[in-house]
Chains A and B, each alone.
Chain A
Amino acid sequence: MAKTLAEKVWDAHVVRKGDGEGANAQPDLLFIDLHLVHEVTSPQAFEGLRLAGRKLRRPDLTIATEDHNTPTLDIDKPIADLTSRTQIQTLRNNCQEFGVRLHSLGDAEQGIVHVVGPQLGLTQPGMTVVCGDSHTSTHGAFGALAMGIGTSEVEHVMATQTLSLKPFKTMAINVEGTLRPGVSAKDIILAVIAKIGTGGGQGYVLEYRGSAIRALSMEARMTICNMSIEAGARAGLVAPDQTTYDYMYGRPHAPEGDEWDAAVEYWNTLSTDDGAAFDVEVDLDTDTLEPFVTWGTNPGQGVSLSAKVPSPDDFGDENAKAAAERALQYMGLEAGTPMKDIRVDTVFLGSCTNSRMEDLRAAADIVRGRTKDPAVRMLVVPGSARVRLEAEAEGLDKVFKDFGAEWRFAGCSMCLGMNPDQLEEGERCASTSNRNFEGRQGKGGRTHLVSPVVAAATAVRGTLSSPSDLDPVPESAAVRVDAA
Chain B
Amino acid sequence: MLGALLYLRLTSLKNLLLSRLRRLRQPKYLLGAAVGAAYFYFIFSRPFGGSGRPSTSSGSAAAASFTLSPVELVPLLSVFGAFALVLIALFTWLVPSEKPGLTFSEAEVAFLFPAPISRRRLIHFRLLGAQLHIFLSAIFFTLLSRGWSFLGGHVLTHIVGWWLVLTVVNLHFTGAALTLNRIFDAGISVWRRRLVILGGLTVLVVAAAIPIWQNAPAFPTGNFGPGAFFSAIARTIDTGLLHWLLFPGKLLLAPFLAADLRTFFFALGPAALLLGAHYFWVSRLEVSFEEASVAHAEKRAARVERFQAGDYRLGSAPAKARREPFPLRVPGRPELAFLWKNLLGTRAVFHWRVWAGCAVAIMIGVPWIIRAGGTAPFAAIIAVVAAVFAIYTLLLGPQLARQDLRSDLPNSDILKTYPLTGWQILLGELLTPIAILTGLLWLSLLAVMLALAPRAETVSWLTPGFRLTAGLCAAAVIPALCTLQLLIPNAAALLFPAWFQSTRTRGGGIELMGQRLIFVMGQLFVILISLLPVVVGCALVIFASQWLIGPAAAVALATLLALAILAAEIAGGLWWLGERFEKLDLATELRP
A, B assembled together:
no
Chain A residues near B (Cβ < 8 Å): none
Chain B residues near A (Cβ < 8 Å): none
